[in-house]
Chains A and B, each alone.
Chain A
Amino acid sequence: MSTTTRRLAGESGKRQSGKRAVGETTTPDANAPAQHQPTAKSRQSQRWLAWIFLAPTILGMGLFTLIPIVASVVLAFFHWDIISAPTFVGFDNFSEVVQDPTVRVSFLNTILFVVVAVALQLGLALALAIMVQEKMPAWLRVFFRSAFFFPLILSAASVSIFMRYLFNEQFGVVNWFLSLVGIPAVPWLTTPGGSAAVVIFVYVWQNFGFSFLLFIGGLASIPVETYEAASIDGATGWRKHLYVTLPLLSPTTLVASVMAIISALQVFDQPYVLTRGGPGDSTRTAVMVIFESAFQRLEFGQASAIGVLLTLIIMAITAAQFRLSKRFVFYQ
């Protein structure tokens, strides 16, 4: 990062006090909250109020998230088919799961999916957000924003239903368009490469709008003066974005990427409706395997074991992300 940008960013930070986009700070301790004058009485009444305010969320999460997580871990050591009583099997579920080629492939698929889908989603969203935020008639901007946000209001299930028709090999619209430019029919949903591409496309198509919106928010909080200062320094066009926008946007990027990764790791609806995980295991994701082993094969213990492994992986990835962010994210 050049010294010029640091200086520019520093200046803008001062001008900007008290105005901050949602999601700009992420780590719990990144920003200290507003300080009140502490008196003993006030501190105690703050404590009381805090626990009252936290009660619904904490109790709800304890009941519907934490207890189920613990239960899930316990269940991973049992064999249970819902119909007969559970039997303790030690680490059998884990060793079976680790050896199951389908489980291994699905985990690998999930990681590949996350890498590709999130990169596309963020790249696309950022590029479009920058283009939309630059000078253009207001009505046009409203149109573009609405258009890019639109897929987000649809359900993944219904999107997958109509995308299935669009990507049909013989009668689909996509292949018809390709035939216009002389490309022979692509077997989208029946080859491993094709179906992976479709699942990624459909997922990104539907979800880039959310990252787009976050980036719009982040961009709007960069004051115009920063750009003016940058242009005085001679930064134009792409260079301006590289040196000014990206660093100033890095907190938003962190939030957008954490959210995109968490949601991509849990992708289910699209492959479930589009390909049922096939052909082969090419679009089978980790959560699909959990679903199949629990609700189609009634292997609840095994499903829990897969779930526990998946959760550990997600946590490791997120922790790594925050660690990396300490180096690359630039707070104003």
Chain B
Amino acid sequence: MTGATNGHLREITRRTALGALGAGIIGATVASWPRLSGTDIPGRGDNSLSIAIMGTAADAAARQRAIDAFTRLHPEIKVKVQAIQAVDWKDFFTKILTMVAAGTPPDVVYVATEGAQLFAEKLAHPLDEYVRRDAADMAEFFDDVHPSLVEAFMYKGSLYQLPMDWNAANMYYNTTAFTQAGLERPADDWTHLDFRNSLAAMRKARTSDFTPYYWTNRLFGGVVPWLYANDTSFLKETRSAGGEWLWDGFYANDPSRSLRSGGYQWLEPNANDDRVFESFDYLRGLVKDGLGVRPEEGGGSSLVGLFASNRIGTTPAGGYWVQGLHEAGMGESDFDVQFFPRWKTQRHQFGTAGYAIMKTAKDKDAAWEWIKFSSSREAMELIFPNPITTPARRSMVNEQLYAGKGPANWKVFYDTLDRFPTTGPIPAPPQQAAVETALMKNVSLAVSGDERQLKQALASMQRDLELALRRQS
């Protein structure tokens, strides 16, 4: 064979190969067109009721049985649940706003306290007319749900969501670590000083590879419970008038009726309050004496693992933690839960979540039917079969839910609301994202230096909060 033909041949095979490659790429592109253009996503662009929840496909699938039950009840309403993955609620709301910006907003969104006022102010449609219309059906629901949870979804006299699940910041503790340190189960009304003494005892019993108090730098379960216990907050808390229609209609006989209002308002920063300083100074003391960690920003992703491997003595968390600890291998008697320690008060912090109807929803009546159905005991049992959160219905927080998983004192979860009726939601005005950033970014500095650094951090928090609240958001 001569060199010339050889080269010619090579040229031909080369071209064939390149041609085949090009054809392959084009073929693959055409074949995957539905994937590329998103047209293969079921329910996209049709007129079914779209419901956005935070979570994974697995979470959406977990709702399938509830959807089936709903479809049996309302065969005329087609429902599609869209699970939106996000690291935290702030991230989730960003995604919802992106959908609004993209011109494809969902009809119903599962919104937590963090976003309740953002949605109420800008995006959501009030439920008042529906609740009034179906008052007969709703009486049973409100009867089973503590008014504190409902009040968290009141905004300027109107109700925007029905609470579905919630969690208060109680105190989890590792029973082994308590026993090793010679500690008994703390009393219901233990104080912040008792708490500190318990931490010191645990520190003495285990000097390394162990943290008596682990906490995270978040809106929920971070510094806020300590502020609430000390009867203060980083924002000035006021209430708006109104809401009588709801309270008189459904909670007329509730012992805490007189406390209820038309909703919380957070309009001014309060980081320069003396008690805020006092609470931060207490936490700073815990950090300084090696009793508590310096909290990481956006941290907490390893919390379950650390707690389950007996490296943590105490940490604030709510009922949502039980399933995670169980899955991480903790036995039902390895941990327990108690109320958050008392300071000036024993007011707790809680967060709750529920469905909101978007202003842009095409069929608001259908959306309400979904919300009403979801609030029924039947639906809530389908959605919350496990203690991955605390159901809003008192009757569902029962022996059966925690059987074999613990904690022994699961009653603490709902008792928090009954025993301390002033227990309040996470402070989250419509400018929540900016407010949260303003708080979180100053926490680490505040608790991990000297007193001067603490004062500086609180001053800068005050300034950052002022800026955040000034925004028209």
Which chain A residue shows the least CB distance to B214? A170
The answer to whether B442 and A280 have CB atoms under 8 Å apart is yes
Q: Which of A81, A189, A298 contacts B296 (CB 8 A)?
A: A189
With a cutoff of 8 Å between Cβ atoms, the chain B residues found around residue A81 in the complex are: 472-473
CB proximity to A under 8 Å, residues B74-95: 90, 94
At the interface, yes or no: B132 with Cβ under 8 Å from chain A? no
Q: Which of A170, A187, A281 contacts B441 (CB 8 A)?
A: A281
Which chain B residue shows the least CB distance to A295? B94
Which chain B residue shows the least CB distance to A293? B434
The answer to whether B122 and A296 have CB atoms under 8 Å apart is no
Q: Which stretch, A120-128, A140-148, A212-220, A270-278, touches the partner chain B?
A: A270-278
Main secondary structure of the interface of B (DSSP, over half): helix
A153 to chain B, nearest CB (A): 23
At the interface, yes or no: B68 with Cβ under 8 Å from chain A? no
With a cutoff of 8 Å between Cβ atoms, the chain B residues found around residue A83 in the complex are: 97, 100, 122-123
Please, what's the 1-or-0 string for A72-105, where 1 marks a CB less than 8 Å from any CB in chain B? 0000000101110000000000000000111000
The answer to whether A295 and B295 have CB atoms under 8 Å apart is no
Complex: A147 Cα to B97 Cα, angstroms: 42
Complex: A276 Cα to B445 Cα, angstroms: 14
The answer to whether A82 and B97 have CB atoms under 8 Å apart is yes
At the interface, yes or no: B298 with Cβ under 8 Å from chain A? yes
Which chain B residue shows the least CB distance to A179? B208
Please, what's the 1-or-0 string for B245-278, where 1 marks a CB less than 8 Å from any CB in chain A? 0000000000000000000000000000000000
Please, what's the 1-or-0 string for A141-171, where 1 marks a CB less than 8 Å from any CB in chain B? 0000000000000000000000011001111
A contacts with B, residue count (CB < 8 A): 32
CB proximity to B under 8 Å, residues A166-224: 168-171, 187, 189-192
Total A-B pairs in contact (CB under 8 Å)?
92
At the interface, yes or no: A225 with Cβ under 8 Å from chain B? no
Complex: A215 Cα to B445 Cα, angstroms: 41
With a cutoff of 8 Å between Cβ atoms, the chain B residues found around residue A284 in the complex are: 441
Interface centre among B90, B100, B434 (most CB of A within 10 A): B434
Interface centre among A168, A190, A192 (most CB of B within 10 A): A190
At the interface, yes or no: B356 with Cβ under 8 Å from chain A? no
Complex: A275 Cα to B443 Cα, angstroms: 13
B309 to chain A, nearest CB (A): 9
The answer to whether A278 and B98 have CB atoms under 8 Å apart is no
At the interface, yes or no: B467 with Cβ under 8 Å from chain A? yes
With a cutoff of 8 Å between Cβ atoms, the chain A residues found around residue B457 in the complex are: 280
With a cutoff of 8 Å between Cβ atoms, the chain B residues found around residue A100 in the complex are: 467
At the interface, yes or no: A297 with Cβ under 8 Å from chain B? yes
Complex: A298 Cα to B123 Cα, angstroms: 13
The answer to whether B445 and A297 have CB atoms under 8 Å apart is no
Interface centre among A189, A279, A280 (most CB of B within 10 A): A279
9 closest residue pairs by CB, A with B = A279-B444, A190-B294, A278-B297, A296-B433, A276-B298, A82-B101, A276-B297, A278-B441, A190-B444
Question: Can you spell out 22 A-B residue pairs with CB atoms less than 8 angstroms apart?
Answer: A82-B100, A82-B101, A101-B463, A169-B294, A171-B311, A189-B296, A190-B294, A190-B295, A190-B296, A276-B297, A277-B297, A277-B441, A278-B440, A278-B441, A278-B444, A279-B297, A279-B443, A279-B445, A280-B442, A280-B460, A296-B90, A296-B437
Chain B residues proximal to chain A, CB less than 8 Å: 90, 94, 97-98, 100-101, 122-123, 209, 211, 217, 293-299, 301-302, 306, 311, 431, 433-434, 437, 440-445, 448, 457, 460, 463-464, 467, 471-473
Beyond A83-B100, A297-B473, 4 additional pairs, beta carbon < 8 A: A187-B448, A278-B297, A296-B90, A299-B471
